[in-house]
């Protein structure tokens, strides 16, 4: 499946940043044993990746705005379009030498995500979606959310709040409700890949509180284009602004979202 010109620019930028991160990831393992530790190095790798994405996107579309994790937002000459970018989603995994992290790029038009790319450089998987044309893996495999209907067979992903987060009590309550009725909950540490895996039918659902637009922009489009639902946990909110997301296959979404929404 061929994507639009914008999508091709996004895929190229994500893969180029991915190649830079892969080189740095090789170095991180050596740094684990050094006295200085890998923290500063990883921040530099993250910023380098953001620069690569930014150069590629800006060269192709100089008028678009920018919202990225590592730098200040920029309003473009075209105020209706902006890139929403996390150059390294799964920073903690990267820092600890764990091979599960991604580059994620979304394009927002008039407040709505219209294209999204999530590239996993380690597994060399590129997930993408465009509004109205479906969700794809490497442009070859059309993604569909899971069809499992029996709750006890379903598997979910979530994110566990960092130390000191105000979302810890709610997340623990969620876990207490969902664990007894499903086959398992995973915490793999990349919100973007969690959503891509829901789109691919690997997970049946995903929820997390306190996320940013760059963590979930591309992923929510992937889930929707793969036939699933991605909604704010608190109904009536705008998902990207709210940042509390519940997503899942059409087969279980209603039951799953009801469990998660009971907490609020």
Binding site for ligand IPD (CB under 6 A): 69, 86, 89-91, 159, 189-191, 208, 211, 215
* CB nearer ligand IPD, residue 50 or residue 86: 86
* CB nearer ligand IPD, residue 190 or residue 249: 190
* CB nearer ligand IPD, residue 8 or residue 43: 43
DSSP sequence for 10-28: HHHHHHHHHHHHHHHHHHH
Residue set of the binding site: 69, 86, 88-89, 215
* CB nearer ligand IPD, residue 115 or residue 190: 190
Which residues make Cβ contacts (< 8 Å) with residue 162, sequence separation at least 6? none
Closest by Cα among 201, 118, 203 to 155: 203
- Least distance (Å) between residue 131 CB and ligand IPD: 23
Closest by Cα among 119, 145, 138 to 52: 119
Please state, in angstroms and rounded to a whole number, the distance separating the CA atoms of residues 192 and 189.
Answer: 9
DSSP 3-state of 177: helix
Strand ranges of the sheet holding 245-248, from the earlier edge strand across to the other edge: 184-186, 155-158, 205-208, 245-248, 229-232
* CB nearer ligand IPD, residue 239 or residue 251: 239
- Least distance (Å) between residue 150 CB and ligand IPD: 27
- Least distance (Å) between residue 75 CB and ligand IPD: 23
Please state, in angstroms and rounded to a whole number, the distance separating the CA atoms of residues 138 and 167.
Answer: 35
Q: Which residue is nearest to ligand IPD (CB)?
A: 159
DSSP 3-state of 47: helix
Which residues make Cβ contacts (< 8 Å) with residue 138, sequence separation at least 6? 125, 126
- Least distance (Å) between residue 208 CB and ligand IPD: 6
Q: Measured between alpha carbons, how far is residue 10 from residues 52, 112, 196 in Å?
A: 11, 17, 16
Q: Measured between alpha carbons, how far is residue 259 from residues 16, 28, 62, 160, 246 in Å?
A: 40, 39, 44, 17, 10
* CB nearer ligand IPD, residue 69 or residue 130: 69
- Least distance (Å) between residue 195 CB and ligand IPD: 10
Residue set of the binding site for Mg(2+): 69, 86, 88-89, 215
- Least distance (Å) between residue 3 CB and ligand IPD: 24
């Amino acid at each position: 499946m061929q994507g639009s010109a914008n999508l091709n620019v996004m895929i190229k930028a994500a893969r180029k940043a991915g190649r830079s991160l892969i080189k740095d990831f090789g170095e991180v393992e050596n740094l684990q044993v050094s006295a200085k530790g890998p923290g500063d190095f990883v921040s530099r790798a993250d910023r380098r990746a953001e620069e690569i994405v930014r150069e590629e996107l800006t060269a192709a579309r100089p008028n678009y705005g920018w919202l990225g994790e590592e730098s200040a937002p920029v309003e473009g000459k075209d105020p209706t379009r902006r890139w929403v970018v996390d150059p390294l989603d799964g920073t903690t995994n990267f820092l600890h030498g764990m091979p599960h992290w991604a580059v994620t790029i979304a394009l927002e038009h008039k407040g709505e995500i219209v294209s999204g790319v999530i590239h996993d450089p380690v597994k060399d998987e590129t997930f993408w979606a465009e509004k109205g044309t479906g969700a794809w893996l490497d442009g070859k495999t059309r993604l569909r959310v899971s069809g499992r209907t029996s709750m006890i067979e379903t598997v979910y992903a979530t994110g566990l709040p960092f130390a000191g987060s105000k979302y810890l009590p709610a997340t623990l309550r969620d876990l207490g409700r969902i664990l007894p009725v499903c086959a398992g909950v995973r915490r793999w540490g990349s919100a973007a890949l969690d959503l891509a895996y829901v789109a691919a039918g690997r997970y049946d659902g995903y929820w997390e509180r306190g996320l940013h637009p760059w963590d979930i922009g591309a992923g929510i489009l992937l889930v929707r284009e793969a036939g699933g639902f991605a909604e704010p946990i608190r109904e009536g909110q705008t998902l990207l602004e709210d940042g509390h997301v519940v997503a899942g296959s059409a087969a279980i979404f209603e039951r799953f979202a009801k469990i998660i929404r009971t907490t609020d």
